[in-house]
Structure 1
Amino acid sequence: MLERVTIDGAVAAWFREKGWTPFDFQKDVWARMAAGESGLLHATTGTGKTLAVALGAWQALRSESPRGLMVLWVTPMRALAADTTRALTEALAGVQGREKSAPQWSLGLRTGDTSSSQRASQSRKPPTLLVTTPESLSLLLSRENARDFFADLRCVVVDEWHELIGNKRGVQTQLALARLRRWRPELLTWGMSATLGDLHAAKRALLGPRGEGALVEARLKKKLAIDTLIPATPERFPWAGHLGAKMAEQAIAEIDAHNSTLLFTNTRSQAELWRQRLLRLRPDWADLVAIHHGSLAQEERDAVERGLKEGALKAVVCTSSLDLGVDFLPVERVLQIGSPKGVARLLQRAGRSGHAPGRASRVTLVPSHSLELVESAAVQSAIRKGHIESRASPVAPLDVLAQHLVTIGLGGGFTPDALLAEVRETVAYENLSGESWGWCLDFVRQGGPTLRAYPDFRRVTPGPDGVWRVADKRLALRHRLNIGAIVSDASVMVQYFPRGRKLGTVEESFVARMKPGDKFWFAGRLLELVNVRDLTAFVKKGAGSGATPRWMGGRMPLSTTLADEMVETLARAAEGNFSSLEMQAAKPFLQLQQRWSALPTPRTLLAETLKSREGWHLFLYPFAGRNAHLGLASLIAWRAAQMAPGTFSIAVNDYGFELLSGAPRDWASDLPRLIEAHSLDATRDEVIESLNAAELARRRFRDIAQIAGLVVNLYPGERKSARQLQASSSLFYDVFRKYDPENGLLKQAERELLEDELDVKRLHAALTRMNKRRLAHMQLKRCSPLAFPLIAERFRESLSNESFNARIERMLAQLNAAADA
């Protein structure tokens, strides 16, 4: 394509003024967009993807006089939408300023933070280019005049496609794109991404199963430096309880040596704890170290982002809320606290530093225990090999489809046959069965066979002209208030008493355990609870010490790509290869593991058995991730109970799991039968038998019921509490199980439980792989270094914090003494 590109004079002049030269991939995108091609651009973070696609759209469409909305730009996050708007404003001003006689493009931003007056103005006179989010796009599609609003649309851009492709928000985006393409068959569609494994699958999900388009990869060698903070005294018995507390002083030294640093944690609780820890060691940094995560109020996050951009902050402790492409040029360093859990996630976070073409990115891993030293070595090895995780689109989630039907019923209505054909133009629903489609239609028309007597579930009804529409204005308003596929645990707003600033949200279950006067850390502040009223926790500044909130869903499992590389790294250690600094530091731990037991390898399945005062222990190390290990442990315990009745305690982590029986078990002789691999269907059935699957599915059903509109969180002027939401969804769940067992949402809850929470496919693959490996059974005299974190995990669930710490310290003293003997 490069030989066909002619760079617009205004673009060339603006690039020269900036001292830039267009990259080949940028010119390639410009040529393809000028030729009317759609496609996916894959380029390293901070190399100019936004300019490639934005200026490609401007050059391709600039000859047309803008009448209405011509370019729609979809981003996954509000913060990214605002930052993208600023970047596009600068770029458009730079190129349009040289051709003032040419038609000038206007630019707008539309997210949940956009004021009603701005939205009204955009409706009267749409901007030429509109930056928005998947939720706000769905809201636009729910307008009665949606087709007219998008009548002049020529191009859609989806930014950070890797963030959307693997979840329901991505499915929501696929459905919206299918609708826009139906109205505008020649619509240009471009996606941008930085960290994807299977690029062709990602492009197919973006453009549809029959969509043709280009795949442009930037062949740029962006400098990336990855290193690890090596602990002064690496532990021989790793455990994750201290969240890397011992590394805080070393982290502070790194922060002190640079102007601006991002410290990424994997959970919001960990972010709160790390900010406390930094300020205990450096109280003079109180105004220089901030915190950023998704539960903080928008105003709090905005203030932190401004501080980063202006270079006013020394460090920000954050979560995935800052993973995406927000441009913070002053950031020099990234510290990853604990395991990144995946290769793509580490690369994405590394790109937050040196976020500009030609600048190097640097990320430093801060291990919270010795096993994460091995992970650090493994993730660097995976990056050198180019091994990055793939992401796949969810398959036919009926809750998202049901919501979309109501949205389109509001947005001018639909005829079932035409909409079915349109929906099947998405990868998510390309194989949607007629039975499932019929169920969805019946569900939005009358709530299915069990709810047809209730008017609130008659949301979309066919008219005499055969077009299905939403006629009830009250139901229309309720739907618009609840559009979206983001479902979080019910939360309580935290606000200064009596009518002060709102700080953000904590989970209702956390506040429910507190009484007035109790203290807790939130938004980097110690707060004292005054009272709770109308789902708002009123607080004042506290003194002393307090608890840290825990948010559900914070534990990410180790990716298959990283887990496999970790086992390869351990295998090299078993052969005496400790070549990297990380492996040198982990050497005492790994050599002790070899001395007392063995190291896992790709060819062996390590099984350890131990008889202690607690009972008969089995430790297995499949390295399949926390979710799959929970299912595996439950399955093997269930099989063991079929062989001889008994009860078992279970502990899991990302590396393996423990089964503990109070009665005698001959684990060694039973193990071959316990880990037998059958068919995937048989494994699935056994997993359901081995767990309280109904209760787990009930919890999953609550989220599905909210997305589908069966249970709504927001009513005009009010919001439901967690207890009300759970009670409502549980009632529906029980009714469906009794009277409508073929209910589509019920089936989806069971499927998502198995596919997402328990990861049955990965579980089955692990079981199959375990059977192909040579069983290395080690009879332990005492707890091995690999077994220690599993025992610690089990203690954590059954002991108070004080007794847990005391018991761990006693165990460590005894084990270290044995290791030194």
Structure 2
Amino acid sequence: MSNVPPFIDTWFAARGWAMHPHQHEMLERAGAPALLLIAPTGGGKTLAGFLPSLADLGPDPAPGLHTLYISPLKALTADIRRNLRAPVDEMGLSIRIEDRTGDTSHTQRRRQRADPPHILLTTPESLALMLSYEDAPRIFAGLKRVIVDEVHALAESKRGDQLMLGLARLAALCPGLSRVGLSATVEDPPAIGRFLAPAPKACEILQADPGPDPDIAMLETDAPPPWSGGGGRYAIPAILDEVRRHRTTLIFHNTRAQAEIFFHDLWLANDAGLPIGIHHGSLAREAREKVEAAMAEGALRAVVCTGSLDLGIDWGDVDLVIQVGAPKNVKRLVQRIGRANHRYNAPSKALLVPANRFEVVECVAALQAARAHDLDGDPRGPGPRDVLCQHILATAAAGPFDADALYDEVTTAGPYTTLTRPAFDACLDFAATGGYALRAYDRWQRLKRGPDGRWALRDPRAAKQIRMNLGTIVDTETLKVRMQRHRGGAPLGEVEEGFAATLTPGDTFLIGGQIVRYEGLREMTVEVTRSASATPKIATFMGTKFATSTQLSDRILTMFRQPDWPELPRHTAEWLALQRKVSRLPRRERLLIESFPHEGRAHTCVYGFAGRNAQQTLGLLLTQRMEAAGLAPLGFVATDYATLIWGLDPVTDPAPLLDGDNLREAFETWLAGNAVMKRTFRASAIVAGLIERNTPGRRKTGRQATFSSDILYDTLAKYDPGHLMLEITREEAMKGLVDFGRIEAMLARTKGRIDHVPLSRVTPLAAPLFLEPGRVPVTGTAEQRLIDEAAERLMAEAGLA
């Protein structure tokens, strides 16, 4: 075609390839202000995003930054640099391609600011940092295109909100800038388009041929899944058989701890000595890069991994993906399936391994949804204000700004198009003074308004502090783990500070697939040696704990309406049939509640199917109301689909406990004094810049940060209950850790229609909950009653009663 430069045409011909229609289309639409490309994994999506840049730069490009590529993962930027370098060299183009992430050296970063490459590959955090420098207008002068890879993943988190604010800033610095979004899994293309580029620069959407459906199935195993748990150990013999039959297998897990445990068990069963690695975000960079290099060379037969390998990395030898544990989210399953067989018009192959009996049902529902191309995803709310507060401070670090101009700029960012001027002004006031209760303290007096009406830093030296604390990822504080110095001091990764505090010398734990022995803490580093112990502790790692999506829960409830279940294994179908016989199966439009005695306690099981966080919150709410009603609850446990409560007195009428009137108000009252609120406050206060994670020359420990945030929270709650940070905290707590919105949606869905089934014994569906870990005790009147009853029995035995 006429718009394809000869050097690109020649390169494709030399490879014996034909350009895909969507790659042609990307060149055709190179001048579009905003474009979202949805194309399957293996379809040359990333190359399609770069082709207009290569065409525009040509064989002899002028110096300066032309294209900015933004990815959610550091590993992905390195992979893209490798994969883009080959065609650029083979086309004979003198194009400089570099990446800039948290792993880039200080020297290289300074050089990139002074002399930017033609194509820079980076992350949202690094872009925010570059925009915070005074010379940002010079760095980005001449920038023509921004490519946002895996845009769907960024749209689901505060990192995406931060990035869109950054793109709004770039658009102001570089008029005419084109935006391109790339993704393989988008459930609502127009919504992602509005996120990437809201009107008036409406985002064009280009959908490529999706290619053949993936080849996905459940893994058949000799042993049935256990009734509870999440490890998938029972399936290891069958998984090893699959690893032997394939070139390279990715074995995904939902948590880092599960990945570590599974890798250890898999290695012990690996009698053939197959080369197997482990990869997750808490491992040291050196360990991750070693595994990535071995994968690229085809030297590994399998990698046990987590979300660290969810996105985009192109390893052509991967011909099988195994998902251990229910995927919880159809979009995530499709994304992971796409890691297998990076070839266009060739089906990806994947196997699902349910970790327990109920997950069999969830896995079947996920398979049906994936085959039906029914992706899940909840609509996004407005952009969070803690991210906006940080952006205002970062803008000030780059130099004085006009508030009117900044407001106009911010409201061109997709997540902030509905932001009102009073809400913006409240964030500006917070960034400038800390808000009403804190404005008397010098440390929060950060911005001042000059005679020209523009806002600037009170102390220019504060810019360094602001830059050191940029970013929206607030994980549990971690400590580095290294081999003892006399053993080489090699870095292994990191564990959560709370876990490290439980260790005493001699304790063993798993990290990076090996068992290590804790020797001591030196300069905020956990020092270890190798150990031959067979029973290590399980280290805790930061990382997301997924809840089953609303759409997947709905599919499961729809399955329950079937007369039988030929698609389920016999053991699971018989389990559900027995539940239907002795009680009922949950229904979408009604709320099933069972009551039964067990081991001298009254039990109540509420099948809300609202996800783990919401079911946990439901347990807190119901036990609070049971306590007020004198029902003496003792504790509860929650899963994605149910909450089991036990106590001294039976629940004869559950309706008043679930009355929606005043539920939110009562919950907010409870939440205000709860540790959940303080945890949420700390995270939002760090993002907003109220609390500093890092200060020059030292790193604040998690315990110090928590202590100072607790004092701040208590002070604001007492003296300034309407403070912006408390408003933000309430919003974040309700939708994040406690997922209160899904409880309200569940109550709206069932509209007071309750199926209360009193029974004489435990039901088949409730039984697995008794084996579930994470029981939450409730202290209240039940505790005193048990003490009084025990005292009476003792006195009677002594003849005193």
Q: In 2, distance between residues paired with 1:512 and 1:472?
A: 38
| 1:591 lines up with 2:591 in the alignment | no
Q: Is the 8 A contact 1:338 1:367 kept in 2?
A: yes
Give every structure 1 segment of 4 or more consecutive aligned residues whose post-TM-superposition deviation is greater than 6 Å.
none
What are the ranges of 5 or more consecutive residues in structure 1 without an aligned counterpart?
Answer: 799-821
Q: Is the 8 A contact 1:209 1:430 kept in 2?
A: no
2:498 matched residue in structure 1: 509
Q: Is the 8 A contact 1:166 1:392 kept in 2?
A: no
Task: Indicate the larger mover: 224-233 or 513-522.
Answer: 224-233
Match for residue 793 of structure 1 among 750, 758, 772: 772
Per-residue CA deviation, residues 228-266 of structure 1 (Å, 9 max, x unaligned), is 11342436x7212x6222111111111122121111001
Q: In 2, distance between residues paired with 1:418 and 1:614?
A: 68
| 1:646 lines up with 2:632 in the alignment | yes
Helix, strand or coil at the partner of 2:202: coil
RMSD, matched Cα = 2.2
2:788 matched residue in structure 1: none
Match for residue 28 of structure 1 among 25, 28, 50: 25
2:443 matched residue in structure 1: 456
2:685 matched residue in structure 1: 705
Q: Is the 8 A contact 1:370 1:589 kept in 2?
A: no
Match for residue 397 of structure 1 among 380, 384, 390: 384
Q: Is the 8 A contact 2:595 2:651 kept in 1?
A: no
2:41 matched residue in structure 1: 45
What are the ranges of 5 or more consecutive residues in structure 2 without an aligned counterpart?
Answer: 778-801
| 1:9 lines up with 2:6 in the alignment | yes
Q: In 1, distance between residues paired with 2:774 and 2:137?
A: 59
| Identical counterparts, % of pairs | 36
Q: In 1, distance between residues paired with 2:379 and 2:95?
A: 36
Q: Is the 8 A contact 1:651 1:659 kept in 2?
A: yes
Letter aligned with residue 24 of structure 2: K
Per-residue CA deviation, residues 663-715 of structure 1 (Å, 9 max, x unaligned), is 2431xxx123333444xxx4422332455654211111111111122211222
Q: In 2, distance between residues paired with 1:192 and 1:493?
A: 34
Q: In 2, distance between residues paired with 1:691 and 1:651?
A: 19
Q: In 2, distance between residues paired with 1:648 and 1:94?
A: 70
Q: Is the 8 A contact 2:633 2:645 kept in 1?
A: no
- Spell out the pairing of 1:746-785 with structure 2 (5 A cutoff): 746-771=726-751, 773=753, 775-785=754-764
Per-residue CA deviation, residues 528-563 of structure 1 (Å, 9 max, x unaligned), is 111112211011111213111123554211001111
TM-superposed deviation, 1:795:
7.5
Q: Is the 8 A contact 2:520 2:526 kept in 1?
A: yes
Tell me: CA distance 1:261–1:337, structure 2 relative to 1, closer, same or farther (3 Å): same
1:814 matched residue in structure 2: none
Q: In 2, distance between residues paired with 1:309 and 1:471?
A: 50
TM-superposed deviation, 1:63:
9.4
Q: Is the 8 A contact 1:228 1:364 kept in 2?
A: yes
Helix, strand or coil at the partner of 2:492: strand
Q: Is the 8 A contact 2:81 2:99 kept in 1?
A: yes
| 1:558 lines up with 2:548 in the alignment | yes
Task: Indicate the larger mover: 689-698 or 43-52.
Answer: 689-698
| 1:251 lines up with 2:239 in the alignment | yes
| 1:189 lines up with 2:145 in the alignment | no
2:790 matched residue in structure 1: none
Helix, strand or coil at the partner of 1:156: strand
Q: In 2, distance between residues paired with 1:718 and 1:268?
A: 28
TM-superposed deviation, 1:6:
2.9
Q: Is the 8 A contact 1:70 1:129 kept in 2?
A: yes
Letter aligned with residue 76 of structure 1: P
Letter aligned with residue 711 of structure 2: L
1:440 matched residue in structure 2: 427
2:784 matched residue in structure 1: none
Q: In 2, distance between residues paired with 1:247 and 1:591?
A: 25
Q: Is the 8 A contact 2:211 2:344 kept in 1?
A: no
Q: Is the 8 A contact 1:557 1:627 kept in 2?
A: yes
TM-superposed deviation, 1:190:
0.6
- Spell out the pairing of 1:81-120 with structure 2 (5 A cutoff): 81-95=77-91, 97=92, 104-120=94-110
Helix, strand or coil at the partner of 2:736: helix
| 1:330 lines up with 2:313 in the alignment | no
Relative to the length of structure 1, the TM-score reads 0.91
| 1:266 lines up with 2:266 in the alignment | no
Tell me: CA distance 1:391–1:620, structure 2 relative to 1, closer, same or farther (3 Å): closer
Letter aligned with residue 142 of structure 1: S
Helix, strand or coil at the partner of 2:519: strand
2:592 matched residue in structure 1: 606
TM-superposed deviation, 1:732:
1.0
- Spell out the pairing of 1:138-149 with structure 2 (5 A cutoff): 138-149=128-139
TM-superposed deviation, 1:472:
3.0
Letter aligned with residue 631 of structure 1: T
2:285 matched residue in structure 1: 298
Tell me: CA distance 1:652–1:274, structure 2 relative to 1, closer, same or farther (3 Å): same
2:519 matched residue in structure 1: 530
Q: In 1, distance between residues paired with 2:428 and 2:127?
A: 22
- Spell out the pairing of 1:378-393 with structure 2 (5 A cutoff): 378-393=365-380
Q: In 2, distance between residues paired with 1:730 and 1:323?
A: 35
2:786 matched residue in structure 1: none
Q: Is the 8 A contact 1:610 1:783 kept in 2?
A: yes
Letter aligned with residue 718 of structure 2: K
Q: In 2, distance between residues paired with 1:66 and 1:685?
A: 61
Per-residue CA deviation, residues 170-207 of structure 1 (Å, 9 max, x unaligned), is 00001001011112231100111111211101110111
Q: In 2, distance between residues paired with 1:796 and 1:253?
A: 36
Task: Indicate the larger mover: 289-298 or 56-65.
Answer: 56-65
Q: Is the 8 A contact 1:37 1:188 kept in 2?
A: yes
Q: Is the 8 A contact 2:475 2:543 kept in 1?
A: no
Helix, strand or coil at the partner of 1:571: coil
Match for residue 695 of structure 1 among 675, 679, 695: 675
Q: In 1, distance between residues paired with 2:339 and 2:717?
A: 47
TM-superposed deviation, 1:120:
2.2
Helix, strand or coil at the partner of 2:640: coil
- Spell out the pairing of 1:294-693 with structure 2 (5 A cutoff): 294-470=281-457, 472-498=459-485, 500-544=489-533, 545-551=535-541, 554-572=544-562, 575-576=563-564, 578-580=565-567, 582-644=568-630, 646-666=632-652, 670-678=653-661, 682-689=662-669, 691=671
1:806 matched residue in structure 2: none
Per-residue CA deviation, residues 577-631 of structure 1 (Å, 9 max, x unaligned), is x232x34452222222223222223354332210223422111212111122123
Relative to the length of structure 2, the TM-score reads 0.93
Q: In 2, distance between residues paired with 1:72 and 1:516?
A: 48
Q: In 2, distance between residues paired with 1:611 and 1:584?
A: 29
Letter aligned with residue 451 of structure 2: P
Q: In 1, distance between residues paired with 2:434 and 2:775?
A: 44
Helix, strand or coil at the partner of 2:591: strand
